[in-house]
């Protein structure tokens, strides 16, 4: 075991990508990790917060899909990533400084566009570099969780003292550090010939039954995940928690993911990716039960460790399942469409729905409804497993577009 962990940390080929993911996640945590707490501090109702988060996530669809198409067309993923980081830094300053609602919503839309695109783009960067780096995705992604967790603790402690006005300036500082890291990396698409992207090909991709079914499962899963994240923060706030407590919860969520990401290669050698996805969905029932029966702030914070099972399983399985059905020349686009689907549609629906349900009824009543949604998601995964799923070896990963 000791030799294995030493090898993971010392592997020269993946070390730059671990640093890349660590730096990116550290920067992302500064703004994304405290956005919900920032909205609560401004006095918005749960319903209003839900709609703002819905706008935030749904707008990300355009960022995900548009950026994916742009990268597949230009084969300039590194350049696009750098430009998006610079633009995101600029609009983050607007988000945390404007008071007029129209300007605030405009800033929410802009931040969502670039932020969602970058979240999907960094995964595609790892997946498309080469087969060795791709096979170590879990080990690389673990450093993202590490960076996010440490950043949440450090930033949460600072913001508890200074307030949220400091967020955009911290974000800008860590964006500069991220750009310094990116400078040493190679563009993952530089050696590939740019395909001629046609509208009819994109339409055919979206007609692929396997691809569509997978994305519906992803959307249902992310609706559950978004609800749990939102309700946990709301319950911590209602229990008297501060920005530090929210930061501690989010940090625990991130840290708990690390061991499972390191075990990803072992898991996929013993279980199919579809079985791993189904396990992630079923485990969400336990997370719902914890929120239903416990409202103590300490217990709510500790419940973050359960993320260490659900999210790594989902990430490990969904990336490979999508890549299994990806059409040659459209891998980035199809990965980004999937991310846009579950982050944008799934996250957007659950943000608006969760906020409205908690205001109209209670959080406990809403959790009963989400339990039914959890069972439905599990049933959809089982049906896909029976009807469509066929384990695909690395050399056989080619898309069968619908006739």
pLDDT digits (tens, 9 = 90+) for 262-289: 887 788 778 888 889 999 999 999 999 9
- Please answer whether residues 326 and 338 qualify as being in contact, where contact means their C-beta atoms are separated by less than 8 angstroms: no
The Cα 64–Cα 343 span in angstroms is 9
What is the 8-class DSSP label of residue 165?
G
pLDDT score of 6 more than 70? no
Beta-carbon contacts of 99 under 8 Å, excluding residues fewer than 6 positions away, are none
Interval 108-130 mean pLDDT: 86
The whole-number pLDDT of residue 203 equals 67
pLDDT score of 198 more than 60? no
Would you place residue 401 in the very low, low, confident or very high pLDDT band (cuts 50, 70, 90)? very low
The whole-number pLDDT of residue 144 equals 87
- Please answer whether residues 331 and 274 qualify as being in contact, where contact means their C-beta atoms are separated by less than 8 angstroms: no
The whole-number pLDDT of residue 279 equals 92
Interval 335-360 mean pLDDT: 76
Nearest Cα residue to 242 out of 25, 40, 28, 31: 40
Would you place residue 201 in the very low, low, confident or very high pLDDT band (cuts 50, 70, 90)? low
The lowest-confidence range among 219-228, 286-295, 386-395 is: 386-395
Would you place residue 10 in the very low, low, confident or very high pLDDT band (cuts 50, 70, 90)? very low
Beta-carbon contacts of 45 under 8 Å, excluding residues fewer than 6 positions away, are 355, 359
pLDDT score of 334 more than 70? yes
**31-44 pLDDT, tens digit each:** 888 888 888 888 88
Would you place residue 190 in the very low, low, confident or very high pLDDT band (cuts 50, 70, 90)? very low
Count the alpha carbons within 13 Å of 197 in the hemisphere toward its beta carbon: 20
pLDDT score of 3 more than 70? no
Which range among 60-64, 106-110, 192-196, 205-209 has the greatest average pLDDT? 106-110
Interval 134-149 mean pLDDT: 84
Helices (H), 96-208: 101-129, 131-135, 137-162, 167-182, 199-207
- Please answer whether residues 305 and 259 qualify as being in contact, where contact means their C-beta atoms are separated by less than 8 angstroms: no
The lowest-confidence range among 51-65, 101-115, 283-297 is: 51-65
Where on the phi/psi map is residue 65: left (φ > 0), alpha (ψ -120 to 50), or beta? Answer: alpha
The whole-number pLDDT of residue 392 equals 55
C-alpha to C-alpha distances, 65 to 62, 113, 211, 332, 385, nearest whole angstrom: 5, 10, 15, 9, 27
The Cα 350–Cα 356 span in angstroms is 10
The Cα 72–Cα 77 span in angstroms is 8
Please state the domain extents for the chain: 15-187+202-390
Fold topology of 15-187+202-390: Growth Hormone; Chain: A; (1.20.1250)
Which secondary-structure segment (H or E) carries 239?
Answer: none
Percent of all residues in the chain with a pLDDT value above 70, rounded to a whole number: 88
**pTM, two decimal places:** 0.70
pLDDT score of 186 more than 90? no
The whole-number pLDDT of residue 95 equals 92
Return the residue matching tokens 């890291």.
181
CA quadruple 47, 91, 69, 140: dihedral positive or negative? negative
Nearest Cα residue to 300 out of 232, 214, 209: 232
The lowest-confidence range among 14-18, 42-46, 203-207, 248-252 is: 203-207
pLDDT score of 236 more than 70? yes
Q: Which residue has the higher pLDDT, 234 or 81?
A: 81
> Exposed/middle/buried for 244, CB within 10 Å: 0-12, 13-18, 19+?
middle
What is the 8-class DSSP label of residue 396?
G
Nearest Cα residue to 127 out of 326, 275, 320, 313: 320
Return the residue matching tokens 């999937």.
338
What is the 8-class DSSP label of residue 342?
I
Would you place residue 196 in the very low, low, confident or very high pLDDT band (cuts 50, 70, 90)? low
Would you place residue 114 in the very low, low, confident or very high pLDDT band (cuts 50, 70, 90)? very high
- What is the average pLDDT value for the chain, to the nearest integer? 82
The Cα 107–Cα 93 span in angstroms is 9
């Amino acid at each position: 075991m000791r030799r294995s962990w030493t090898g993971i940390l010392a592997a020269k080929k993946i070390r730059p990508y671990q640093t890349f993911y660590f730096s990116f996640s550290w920067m992302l945590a500064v703004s994304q990790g405290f956005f919900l707490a920032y909205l609560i501090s401004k006095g918005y109702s749960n319903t209003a917060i839900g709609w703002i988060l819905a706008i935030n996530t749904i707008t990300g669809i355009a960022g995900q899909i548009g950026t994916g198409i742009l990268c597949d067309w230009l084969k300039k993923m590194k350049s696009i990533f750098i430009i998006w980081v610079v633009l995101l830094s600029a609009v983050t300053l607007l988000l945390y400084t404007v008071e007029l609602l129209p300007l605030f919503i405009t800033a929410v839309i802009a931040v969502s566009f670039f932020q969602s695109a970058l979240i999907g783009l960094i995964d595609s960067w790892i997946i498309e570099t080469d087969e060795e780096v791709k096979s170590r995705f879990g080990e690389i992604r673990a450093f993202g969780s590490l960076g996010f967790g440490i950043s949440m603790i450090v930033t949460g402690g600072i913001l508890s003292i200074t307030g949220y006005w400091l967020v955009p300036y911290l974000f800008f500082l860590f964006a500069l550090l991220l750009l310094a890291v990116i400078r040493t990396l190679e563009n993952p698409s530089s050696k590939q010939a740019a395909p001629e992207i046609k509208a009819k090909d994109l339409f055919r991709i979206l007609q692929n039954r396997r691809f569509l079914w997978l994305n519906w499962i992803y959307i249902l899963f992310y609706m559950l995940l978004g609800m749990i994240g939102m309700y946990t923060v709301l319950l911590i706030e209602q229990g008297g928690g501060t920005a530090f407590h929210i930061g501690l919860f989010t940090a625990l969520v991130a840290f708990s993911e690390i061991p499972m990401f390191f075990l990803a290669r072992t898991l996929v050698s013993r279980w199919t990716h579809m079985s791993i996805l189904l396990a992630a969905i079923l485990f969400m029932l336990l997370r719902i039960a914890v929120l239903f029966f416990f409202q103590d702030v300490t217990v709510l914070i500790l419940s973050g460790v359960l993320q260490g099972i659900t999210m790594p399983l989902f990430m490990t399985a969904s990336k490979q399942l999508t890549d299994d059905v990806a059409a040659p020349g459209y891998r980035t686009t199809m990965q980004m469409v999937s991310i846009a689907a579950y982050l944008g549609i799934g996250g957007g629906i659950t943000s608006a729905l969760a906020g409205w349900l908690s205001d109209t009824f209670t959080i406990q009543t809403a959790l009963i409804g989400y339990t039914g949604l959890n069972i439905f998601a599990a049933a959809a995964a089982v049906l896909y497993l029976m009807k469509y799923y066929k384990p695909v070896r690395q050399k056989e990963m080619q898309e069968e577009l619908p006739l």
